[in-house]
Structure 1
């Protein structure tokens, strides 16, 4: 039986690269993106199903899962990859801009996870990969982007033990700089600064590494020219325990 994957943000960047890698392995795909033109183009290229959706809507996430199950009968892999750069900082803060960042980067992952879990539990398991960022374990001038990605690390590490009994694994992918639409506005300045930018295919390879490994709750770092590596979990024991 062919495995089935659902990918949010599948119309470009890491999502599209992962879709191409999965399709080459014979997986059946449902690509989710709010950019219909890009999403449809990648889906048509791969003979996959495309769902136009806003990941910041729980109902849209649930609809995408229903499409996957109706089309292919199951769901094995969920790559919650959709994301946006920060829309503001402290100096130019607005509630609307802040919520736009959190709505996609945090709500979109929480809603995607909640939407797919009933199906994964019915099947007895599956694997969820969340695209976080190196900014989620260090920091970034893009303040609220970093804030959102730190939240995803906490989600993955906290959800993993709760999902273990259901046979559901969840891991976080933390790419460094990757050639995606998120960095398009300042790509040239990054290159002038001598920073290396990874090809999305490198991140897609890291997703495959995560799926092949048996770990859950892992935080995986991938940077240009380097294979994915599992970040050690700090051993912190609260006082009094």
Structure 2
């Protein structure tokens, strides 16, 4: 059944720019009510004004900020149907001489803790609606090694594993949990490696393709899935091989 955005209430973390902003615009076109949650007040506030959305300053590393964002959706629009847990940062270092403990903690907190806290905050509101959707932005780095940024690979792999376990855990409550796994896309998060990608002729995704995949998840029926998004291929759930069982 096709997703009908009209009248639905969606919370988008990292909603001020990049993939979050592009999804917000697409959902607004469908008539959805939006709560944009981000640390960027200027860009988030401007986009919220453009889309007649609510903006809430939200640092996803703080559990109470995620709870406040959900509360904004309930108070302003009457409930929550969709949580897009999209906020993320690049790590940009290895475990060698350039390792930095504070940058490590920040990357893990935003990319992994932010999803955990977002799911925890969203569940009561989704239950009150009789169900809904949670989509977390992971990455192709959660499905394949990324030697350029191993810490990013670690937290995005963790998001994929979390989603795969949450999907069956909440299916009986009509709450679907899935992961969006794009390759490198034209957003600010690749600024530190953009020149390298261009010089090596690595294909970079248009953000519109990521939004199409996001809607593809909403229009499908699965849960606990990780949808890859790579140039030149239709997006679909990644097919994980089964693990060996005991003998």
TM-score range, shorter chain: over 0.9
1:154 lines up with 2:156 in the alignment: no
Distance of 2:57 and 2:152 partners within structure 1: 24
1:66 lines up with 2:71 in the alignment: yes
SS in 2 for 1:172: strand
Distance of 1:104 and 1:77 partners within structure 2: 20
Distance of 1:39 and 1:199 partners within structure 2: 21
Alignment of 1:20-99 (within 5 A): 20-91=25-96, 92-99=98-105
Alignment of 1:1-241 (within 5 A): 2-91=7-96, 92-140=98-146, 141-240=148-247
- Structure 1: 5+ residue runs without aligned partners? none
Would the aligned equivalents of 1:135 and 1:150 in 2 still touch at CA under 8 Å? yes
Displacement, 1:87?
A: 4.8
Number of equivalenced pairs: 240
Distance of 2:236 and 2:245 partners within structure 1: 27
Q: What RMSD, in angstroms, separates the aligned Cα atoms of the two structures? A: 1.2
Distance of 2:207 and 2:47 partners within structure 1: 14
TM-score (norm 1): 0.96
Distance of 1:202 and 1:24 partners within structure 2: 17
- Structure 2: 5+ residue runs without aligned partners? 1-5
Displacement, 1:180?
A: 1.0
Distance of 1:230 and 1:202 partners within structure 2: 15
**2:3 corresponds to which residue?**
none
Distance of 2:42 and 2:234 partners within structure 1: 32
Would the aligned equivalents of 2:92 and 2:192 in 1 still touch at CA under 8 Å? no
Displacement, 1:238?
A: 2.4
Distance of 1:133 and 1:145 partners within structure 2: 9
Would the aligned equivalents of 2:10 and 2:82 in 1 still touch at CA under 8 Å? yes
TM-score (norm 2): 0.94
Would the aligned equivalents of 1:198 and 1:225 in 2 still touch at CA under 8 Å? no
Larger mean CA deviation between 181-190 and 142-151 belongs to 181-190
Distance of 2:85 and 2:58 partners within structure 1: 13
